[in-house]
């Protein structure tokens, strides 16, 4: 068998190993990769999550101001609202992972500050 015949045989074996939809058979990660979000879907998801977080922080801010008017309350929840806006902007320019971490850490910090600092 010549080199070109061997290459052709290997190519045919690779085609047989693939399923009809084109994904390699026998590779468990192939199906998981197909279910991953596209970058556009990930950005949209982060924007939606940030918008929901922003709405939730606005509601909590209104409730906290109604029960106890304090500059600290406005400061903590105002910073959380700004953080949600920053995450929306980061998601729109393609920095979704940074935005996700920032949103998670920032919202936990805001809730923790509310619990620890505000009497």
100 pLDDT above the threshold of 80: yes
Give the per-residue pLDDT at 28: 57
Q: Which residue has the higher pLDDT, 20 or 76?
A: 76
Q: Assess whether pLDDT exceeds 60 at residue 102.
A: yes
**Would you say 81 and 62 are in contact if contact means Cβ atoms under 8 Å apart?**
no
Q: Give pLDDT, residue 14.
A: 52
The per-residue pLDDT for range 45-80, each reduced to its tens digit, is 888 888 888 898 888 888 888 887 778 888 888 888
Mean pLDDT of the chain: 75
* Alpha helix stretches (DSSP H) within the chain: 3-17, 28-34, 39-67, 71-92, 96-117
Q: Residue 96 pLDDT > 60, yes or no?
A: yes
**pLDDT bucket at 30, cuts 50 / 70 / 90:** low
Q: Name the DSSP letter for residue 36.
A: S
pLDDT exceeds cutoff 80 at 25: no
**What's the average model confidence in pLDDT over 90-116?**
85
> What pLDDT does residue 9 have?
53
């Amino acid at each position: 068998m010549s080199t070109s015949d061997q290459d052709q045989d290997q190519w045919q074996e690779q085609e047989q190993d693939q399923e009809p939809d084109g994904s390699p058979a026998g590779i468990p990660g192939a199906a998981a990769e197909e279910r991953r979000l596209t970058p556009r879907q990930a950005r949209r998801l982060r924007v939606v999550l940030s918008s929901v977080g922003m709405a939730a922080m606005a509601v909590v801010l209104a409730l906290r101001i109604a029960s106890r008017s304090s500059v600290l309350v406005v400061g903590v929840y105002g910073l959380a609202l700004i953080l949600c806006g920053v995450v929306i902007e980061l998601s729109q320019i393609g920095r979704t992972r940074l935005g996700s971490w920032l949103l998670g850490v920032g919202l936990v910090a805001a809730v923790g500050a509310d619990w620890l600092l505000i009497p």
